[in-house]
Amino acid sequence: MTQPPEGPTADPTAAGVPTCYRHPDRETWIRCQRCDKPICPDCMRDAAVGFQCPDCVKQASKGSRQNRAMYGGERSADPRLTTFVLIGVNALVWLAITATGGRSSWLTHLLALRPVGVCDPGNGSLYDIGEGVCEASGATFQPGFSDGAWWQLLTAAFTHVEIWHVAMNMFALFIFGPVLEGIVGRARFLAIYLVSALAGSVMVVWFSYEFSSTVGASGAIFGLLGALLVVARKGRAQSQWLVQNLVIGVVITVVGWRFISWQGHLGGLVGGALAAAVIAYAPKSRRSLVQWAGLALVLAVLLALALVRDVALS
């Protein structure tokens, strides 16, 4: 057995005495339970068993449940941010449409969802005439989904003409969006929103009048309602206010069926509920993989349905 050197000039490291990894001048015989590094009293952090060093505690906190949303997504620092971005995009598109002619704007014709294209001679009327004949007559052909304008399946959900329409939809998005993002996280919230919008558009091209024009984020909003109902049921949370809002939405759809796309509302509701079910009921083992694979499958089914309809309309 040896004795450590004594006196003010003694060097603990020279004698083989362990010192704190953060404070080399402090002798210590305590080690981190995770990495086994020596730690002094100032660096000791209470753990379930023994003590851990600050580095291990910081590393563990990054992957802790406190930083995860309810169904495995990363918790949003500000669950309102995605909603504000979506509101901003919708508002900018509405302003651009208003500044370029409103309902007659070229942007409206480009972004609105129309199952089949129409001929626009510029006199306020639209005609069911083929593209070749239409352009030969000097008129403008407004392409639809079946003419290759597949982008309309998504752009229609960001397109509004009347101010009351964009105001109502954005108010609903402001109410429901942050709630859902706070539950599932930012990426999954955005996935649900876009799947809902796409599902509403697919229902429109299947069951709407072929030459009708559909715009608005209502399908995506109904999708958020459907998603909230699913996660509330899964979490056994109070959902009465959601049911009340859904009933109000159904009543408005039924009363204004001539001016409101029930197809978009119903498709969005089903799409949002299905996407949320994939997220909420995924097993905890490899949860993220199952969730994203499930959402990809839902997306593939929607695109396949759109393709079948495209072939039928062409």
Which residues form the catalytic set? Answer: 218, 265
CB 146 within 8 A of CB 117: yes
Burial (Cβ within 10 Å: 0-12, 13-18, ≥19) of residue 207: middle
> What is the C-alpha to C-alpha distance for residues 157 and 199, in angstroms, rounded to an integer?
11
> What is the C-alpha to C-alpha distance for residues 171 and 217, in angstroms, rounded to an integer?
11
Give the residue from 145, 254, 257 showing the smallest Cα distance to 202.
145
| The two three-digit tokens of residue 300, written as one number | 């593939």
> What is the C-alpha to C-alpha distance for residues 19 and 8, in angstroms, rounded to an integer?
17
Q: Which helix (H) or strand (E) holds 140?
A: strand 140-142
Give the residue from 212, 218, 206 showing the smallest Cα distance to 113.
212
Integer distance in angstroms from the first to the last C-alpha of the chain? 93
For residue 124, give the DSSP letter.
S
> What is the C-alpha to C-alpha distance for residues 280 and 297, in angstroms, rounded to an integer?
16
